[in-house]
Amino acid sequence: MNVAVTTQPKRKPSFGDWLKTLTFYELLVGMKATLTHLLNYKPITLQYPHEKRLLPDNYRGMLALLRYDDGTEKCVGCDLCEAACPSRVIRVVSGEVPGEPTKRYSKEYYMDMTRCLFCGLCVDACPVDALGMTREFEWAVYDKRQLHLNKQQLLAIGDRSFPVREKRLELQHPNVAFFNVTFKHLPQKEN
């Protein structure tokens, strides 16, 4: 099997090639962006405490517990946020409402924000939207024990970050009131 291989004759370097090699032309082309910035310098520094950076819409900051518009807590103590947390930051102690064994609430709620990954899995796992990610990021402290937050501190963060609250579930859906799930003063539905 004969294969004819054609070779091109070597090109003689021209004077322009020699001049580009001598003047480091490729290096100057590579430094063009640096030289442009050097000649047209405009500072982009923000004076931090006085000027704050605009945060993106999907920013995930400090976690907060939320309330309904009448001031009652949204958390029903289901412990799903505790189960969903990959770094085991959340600890919930739940209890039952006296006289109503089907209703639960969180007696105690703790978060260790020193270990939080700010992943948002706890917010996604909550069935009643009792947790929210705020836009707060300024949490520098001298003692890390100050970042072990309890229920009252988390509710205060939620009140500060989410001033607009939603109505209770039974007030949002008229069918719940019709079937007498929550309103005790309404008569029972006839069968």
Which tokens sit at 84?
Answer: 């969903």
Of 93, 133, 141, nearest in space to 114 by CA: 141
118 annotated to a ligand binding site:
no
75 annotated to a ligand binding site:
yes
85 annotated to a ligand binding site:
yes
122 annotated to a ligand binding site:
yes
114 annotated to a ligand binding site:
no
Of 97, 89, 88, nearest in space to 154 by CA: 89
DSSP letter at 12 equals P
Of 1, 123, 105, 142, nearest in space to 63 by CA: 123
119 annotated to a ligand binding site:
yes
116 annotated to a ligand binding site:
yes
In three-state secondary structure terms, 34 is helix
Stated as kind and residue range, the H or E segment containing 92 is strand 90-97
Instruction: Provide the residue count of the chain.
Output: 191
Of 127, 104, 112, nearest in space to 63 by CA: 112
Q: Name the residue type at position 78.
A: C
Binding residues for [4Fe-4S] cluster: 75, 78, 81, 85, 116, 119, 122, 126
Binding residues: 75, 78, 81, 85, 116, 119, 122, 126
